[in-house]
């Protein structure tokens, strides 16, 4: 990049003393950014990802690249992060981009959507299947560059006040769920609702809603749903492995020196590994405690899964017919998923299947 261009656009000031320092230091100007997390501090896994990313960037740059994380609502709210990054209110964000499907449904595809590739497959698509470039072609239209920096793994299908055995049981079901998953459930007869995390419990308790999806055992446990909606379904077929992205205002990204970009990529990858590992490590004990506390674990029926798969594919066809960005990313992701499962069903799945059966022996 051109140094002049960087000086013109970097925020937060470059210490005057640096300008007089030798070349080795001149290449490392001080940069100070703000990162708006879409997650509150109570979600310690996801907020922890935002904190970790910022700390790693600072550690790698000996403090010369300083990014301060802000919890949801401190600068803008959860659903304004994409706008705030795009218009430069903040230099960076940390979010699941499917929160922004209201702007364009294409925002779901880099993150997660019903029957998407699983967490590992999505990473392979990003780094070795052309996904990262395709996603950033799209993100550029919204004035941002984004890089994967976390994943929750496959989530649960939510908490229900009554058992859901067939598609018939979804008719009129008022459920807290957003994004494309909510649109698919609507096609199956449910009534999706947008409710913020703190309001879910009282709404379930009063019966204002009949069901709610959130994340998985470790996060869900904190909100105590099992007391008011004990049927805990799996899998979350709209959340098979959502990617959390670090989103960066595209002018800020383009203006960064090469080393600073390398630092962001490396810190994001380390955060990705850490966040997914944390979920995987904490979910088992949480699932034990939830079941001990009365949660009734239930798999969605094959009938319901098949109806959801069919409705999802119809939805994707309809959106693709009028949205070329969506079509391009969806077709790439779907083709990649189908190839991946061809292979995953062999060694990976057979290995897991045996150990699931043999675990207790």
Question: Under the criterion CB under 8 A, does residue 335 sit at the interface with a second copy?
Answer: no
Residues 336-355, one symbol each (x = binds a second copy by CB under 8 A, - = not), give xxxxxxxxxxxxxxxxxxxx
- Least distance in angstroms from the C-beta of 111 to a second copy: 16
Considering only residues 194 to 233 of the shown chain, the ones binding a second copy according to CB under 8 A are 216-217
* Least distance (Å) between residue 206 CB and a second copy: 28
Which residue number, 106 or 121, has a Cβ lying nearer to a second copy?
A: 121
Total residues found in the chain within this entry: 361
Cβ(78)–Cβ(72) below 8 Å: yes
Return all residues near 167 (Cβ < 8 A) that are at least 6 apart. 188, 189, 303, 304, 307
- Least CB distance to a second copy at residue 187 (A): 17
- For position 124 contacting a second copy by CB under 8 A, the verdict is yes
Name the binding residues for substrate.
155, 176, 213, 239
What does the alpha-carbon distance between residue 283 and residue 235 come to, in Å, rounded to a whole number?
14
H or E stretch including 32?
strand 31-37
Question: Which contiguous run of DSSP H or E holds residue 298?
Answer: strand 296-299
**Contact in structure between 189 and 181 (CB atoms under 8 Å):** no
Token pair of 254 as six digits: 């383009």
Measure the CA–CA gap between 17 and 29, rounded to whole angstroms: 10
Which range binds a second copy by CB under 8 A, 67-75, 170-178, 320-328, 331-339?
331-339
Please name the residues in contact with 201: beta carbons below 8 A apart, sequence gap of 6 or more. Answer: 223, 224, 225, 228
Pick between residue 28 and residue 75 the one whose CB is nearest to a second copy: 28
State which of positions 296-325 bind a second copy (CB under 8 A).
297, 299-300, 302, 305-306, 309
- One of 284, 293, 294, 324 touching a second copy (CB under 8 A): 284
Q: Output the known binding site.
A: 155, 176, 213-214, 239
**Is residue 235 close enough to count as binding a second copy by CB under 8 A?**
yes
Q: Which of 93, 153, 181, 242 binds a second copy (CB under 8 A)?
A: 153
């Amino acid at each position: 990049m051109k140094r002049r261009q960087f000086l013109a656009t970097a925020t937060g000031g470059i210490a005057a003393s640096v300008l007089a320092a030798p070349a080795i230091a001149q290449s490392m100007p001080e940069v100070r950014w703000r990162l708006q997390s879409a997650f509150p501090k109570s979600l310690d896994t996801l907020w922890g990802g935002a904190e970790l990313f910022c700390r790693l960037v600072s550690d790698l740059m000996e403090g010369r690249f300083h990014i301060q994380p802000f919890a949801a609502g401190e600068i803008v709210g959860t659903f304004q992060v994409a706008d705030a990054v795009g218009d430069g209110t903040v230099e960076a964000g940390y979010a699941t981009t499917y929160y922004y499907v209201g702007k364009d449904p294409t925002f779901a595809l880099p993150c997660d959507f019903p029957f998407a590739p699983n967490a590992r497959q999505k990473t392979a698509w990003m780094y070795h299947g052309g996904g990262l470039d395709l996603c950033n072609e799209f993100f550029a239209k919204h004035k941002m560059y984004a890089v994967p920096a976390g994943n929750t793994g496959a989530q649960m299908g939510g908490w229900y006040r009554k058992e859901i055995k067939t598609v018939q049981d979804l008719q009129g079901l008022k459920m807290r769920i957003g994004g494309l998953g909510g649109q698919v459930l609507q096609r199956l007869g449910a009534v999706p609702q947008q409710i913020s995390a703190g309001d879910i419990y009282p709404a379930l308790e009063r019966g204002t809603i009949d069901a709610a999806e959130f994340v998985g055992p470790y996060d869900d446990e904190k909100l105590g749903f099992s007391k008011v909606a004990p049927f805990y379904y799996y899998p979350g077929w709209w959340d098979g492995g959502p990617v959390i992205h670090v989103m960066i205002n595209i002018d800020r990204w383009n203006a960064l020196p090469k080393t600073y970009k390398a630092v962001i990529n490396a810190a994001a990858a380390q955060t990705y590994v850490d966040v997914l590992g944390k979920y995987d490590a904490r979910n088992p004990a949480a699932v034990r405690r939830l079941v001990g506390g009365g949660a009734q674990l239930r798999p969605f029926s094959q009938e319901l899964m098949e109806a959801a798969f069919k409705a999802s594919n119809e939805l994707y066809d309809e959106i693709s017919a009028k949205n070329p960005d969506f079509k391009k990313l969806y077709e790439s992701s779907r083709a990649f998923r189908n190839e991946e499962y061809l292979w995953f069903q062999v060694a990976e799945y057979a290995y897991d299947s045996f150990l699931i059966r043999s675990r207790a022996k």
